Amino acid sequence: MSKGQFAIIGTGEVPCGWYPDRSHLEIASMAAYLAIKDAGINKDDIDGVLGQMSIMGNDWNTEVTFGRLPEALGIKNCKTTALVSSGGASSHSIRKAAEGLLISGHDMVLCVHSQRFSEFTPGQLAEGFAKAGCDPEWEIPYGMSFNALGAMVTQRYCYETGTTVEQVGSVCVAARKWALLQDNAMNKKDLTLEQVMGSRMVSTPLTAFMCNVLADGGSAFIMTTAERAKKLVDKPIYILGEGSRYSHRNLTKAKDLTRIVTKPAADEAYNKSGLGPEDMDIAQIYASYPVFTLMIFEDMGFCKRGEAGKYFMDGNTMPGGKMPVCTNGEALSFGHTGTGVGTALLVESVRQLQGKAGRAQVPGARFLIEDCGGGAFMDVHCAVLGNEIP
């Protein structure tokens, strides 16, 4: 695959939050129709439809697997339909699957994510996410959960780098500033550092506002070849370089809790694109917990190790700052839509580079780096995107 061979031409997104009256199909259909409208194409130009797994939504996943989406959307010329799943890394996997279809002779591929956590009770959600990504033999019996994992890494990172918990908390403040500019974001109220630090303790040192909140939501994007994209839209968004790394199954078995595998993945993406961190206008980081935002930001080359906390605390990543980060508010403030957090960031990345990000628009954005990862931070996938091919 050559640099800039494929492009995204349209995106769609529904409001994120708690919508118990909204079905998976309604979420998926609306996101898909918005993406089709945004691209300005006829739906029957689409000949591949890929759905992304919904966490705990087994009935919906079965429906997608057996061809629900193209039929429901009324797409008449579909050749291929499938369900794609790799946890939080699914946004990368579904994009790679779309590229595979385009290589095999498809003309245009629609990728759709839909998540509906509101169909479950708080107890079911707590149990599901207490066990997800944790070893059933060596971690869960001892009280391990995702919040405990995030807290453990935060403690270690602060110890090793001298970063303060307040600096970690400033990541949440920056995320909320961006979410306030997003019409589809779940959280609509301003958030101060004092509120972050003073909220209920969940797992030391993580307070309630330092943990993400599950939400219903969905998004979609349409991919085609760069050659075809140039004929269809004024500003296609090109995939310029990618890098991926896998580290571990369980975080407690990782070689280093505070050095996940972002750096080699990011370096690979930069090398393939012919660009570097100094060329990036935005960093879209899928982290879910603020400490991982700091770690990934450093590994992407924007700060030396241990310096990201001060950089965030000084306001550099907020709207109007030197280096915008997570311009939709990410899982911390936009809302955690299961496997869809990375997809939402990808959709926001395309909007930014097309100049369609509304109040959150970063002026003159040309290139950015985005990442996603799955499980207990087991893998990292980075991509450099741009509205031109350097």
Q: What angle do CA 142, 146, 152 make, to 5 degrees?
A: 75
Alpha-carbon span 68 to 26, nearest angstrom: 12
Alpha-carbon span 32 to 50, nearest angstrom: 11
Structure token digits, residue 11: 């995106």
The residue to which tokens 């908390």 are assigned: 169
Quote the pLDDT of residue 153.
94
Contact 365, 352 (CB under 8 A): yes
Alpha-carbon span 114 to 35, nearest angstrom: 14
Alpha-carbon span 15 to 27, nearest angstrom: 9
Residue 298 in this model has a pLDDT that exceeds 90: yes
| CATH label of the domain that carries residue 80 | 3.40.47.10
pTM of the model: 0.96
Say which DSSP state 54 is in. P
Whether 263 is in a domain gets the answer no
User: Looking at beta carbons, which pairs linking 258-261 to residues 24 or more positions away fall under 8 Å?
Assistant: 258/153, 258/156, 258/157, 258/160, 258/161, 258/295, 259/295, 259/299, 260/292, 260/295, 260/296, 260/299, 260/373, 260/377, 260/380, 261/379, 261/380
Question: Helix, strand, or coil here: 362?
Answer: coil
Residue 257 in this model has a pLDDT that exceeds 90: no
Alpha-carbon span 134 to 111, nearest angstrom: 29
Contact 7, 237 (CB under 8 A): yes
Question: Looking at residues 78-88, what average pLDDT do you find?
Answer: 95
**CA–CA distances in Å: residue 379 to residues 16, 221, 339:** 25, 23, 14
Q: How confident is the model at residue 314 (pLDDT cuts 50, 70, 90)?
A: very high
Whether 249 is in a domain gets the answer no
Contact 109, 77 (CB under 8 A): no
The residue to which tokens 């759709």 are assigned: 112
Alpha-carbon span 7 to 223, nearest angstrom: 6
Domain count across the chain: 1
The count of C-alpha atoms lying within 13 angstroms of the C-alpha of 40, restricted to the half-sphere facing its C-beta, is 9
Whether 138 is in a domain gets the answer no
Whether 259 is in a domain gets the answer no
13 lies in which domain range? 6-120+214-232
Alpha-carbon span 129 to 88, nearest angstrom: 13
Whether 47 is in a domain gets the answer yes
Alpha-carbon span 336 to 338, nearest angstrom: 6
Alpha-carbon span 267 to 131, nearest angstrom: 32
Helices (H), 40-83: 58-65, 68-73
Terminal-residue alpha carbon distance, the chain: 16
Question: Looking at residues 72-96, what average pLDDT do you find?
Answer: 95
Q: How confident is the model at residue 230 (pLDDT cuts 50, 70, 90)?
A: very high
What one-character-per-residue DSSP string does 97-162 give? HHHHHHHTT-SEEEEEEEE-GGGS-HHHHHHHHHHTTS-TTTTGGGT--HHHHHHHHHHHHHHHH-
Residue 130 in this model has a pLDDT that exceeds 80: no
pLDDT digits (tens, 9 = 90+) for 146-201: 888 899 999 999 999 999 999 999 999 999 999 999 999 999 999 999 999 999 99
Residue 157 backbone phi and psi in degrees, to 5: -65, -45
Whether 342 is in a domain gets the answer no
Say which DSSP state 384 is in. E
Whether 65 is in a domain gets the answer yes
Average pLDDT for the chain: 95
